[in-house]
Structure 1
Amino acid sequence: MTKVDRRIRKGARFSKQVQAFVKATEAKANEVVRKTALGVLANVVTASPVDTGRFRGNWQVGIGDRPAGAVDAEDKDGSAVVSREGAKLEGVAVGETVFITNNLPYARRLEFGWSQQAPKGMVRTTLANVKDILEEAAK
């Protein structure tokens, strides 16, 4: 085997190592995006005021497009909605836009202090903690 052949082999191995690194990095980045979105969803749902559970049950996730309409669901503890909507995040990747929305007519009022249970809202308080959610997702 000549020096040139050895260099070509080393170059091919290096190229494979770089490709493996890129693939692993992409997978980790996508996992962080998914975990961050799931953390934001869980926080928003948990911070939501609850009476009948209709408001909590109406949080929706959309990838690329904002969900329309309301959901006919009640979820007092929030676990069903986090499970249902969290499943939509399974394939989310870096660069995709994730929408987390509640389309009930009174959602805006609740966000801006209409409820004693969530006087500072749900989305605003979650966004104030998004750095912590992201750091946890990146672990």
Structure 2
Amino acid sequence: MAGFADQIAAWSEKTREKLETAVRKIALDAFTEVILMSPVDTGRFRGNWQVAIGNIPTGTVEIDDKTGTATIGKVQAETLKLQAGQTIFLVNNLPYAQALEYGHSQQAPGGMVRLTAQRFTPIVDAVARELNKG
């Protein structure tokens, strides 16, 4: 029979793993929402969402991603590396990104990031419900 210290260590490890799963899922869900809400003409804007842990990406990328599939795939790969306590960034460095966020697109008149930020609590709640099922 495991001692009390072993039980606490096991509980602590399980809790850390569950927390990291939650943090990863929340980041992925929020970032996916931003990407899919991004207006699409050529796909350049949607393809320029960049994700990184611990540092803010600079520059732009030359990817046209009308569906968002490739961009979301990159986000998913990066969020799998995320650990609790780390900072993850999603940025779009195209010169017109700020204009699109502040309504210069009929496809996204309310922006993308601001609307997703308003939905952050429901995103967290949905992830918590999902993780508490199992």
TM-score band w.r.t. shorter chain:
over 0.9
Return the alpha-carbon distance in structure 2 between the equivalents of residues 61 and 75 of structure 1.
15
Return the alpha-carbon distance in structure 1 between the equivalents of residues 124 and 51 of structure 2.
18
Matched, 1:66 2:56: yes
- CA shift, 1:101, in A, is 0.5
Counterparts of 1:1-139 in structure 2, within 5 Å, are: 13-138=3-128, 139=130
- CA shift, 1:94, in A, is 1.2
- CA shift, 1:93, in A, is 1.2
The amino acid across from 1:105 in the alignment is: P
Instruction: Give the TM-score, by structure 1 length.
Output: 0.89
Return the alpha-carbon distance in structure 2 between the equivalents of residues 136 and 71 of structure 1.
32
Return the alpha-carbon distance in structure 2 between the equivalents of residues 91 and 80 of structure 1.
18
Q: Secondary structure at the match of 1:100?
A: strand
The amino acid across from 1:113 in the alignment is: G
- Alpha-carbon RMSD across the aligned residues, in angstroms, is 1.1
- CA shift, 1:136, in A, is 1.9
- CA shift, 1:85, in A, is 2.3
Q: Secondary structure at the match of 1:62?
A: strand
Return the alpha-carbon distance in structure 1 between the equivalents of residues 41 and 80 of structure 2.
30
**Consecutive unaligned residues in structure 1, runs of 5 or more:** 1-9
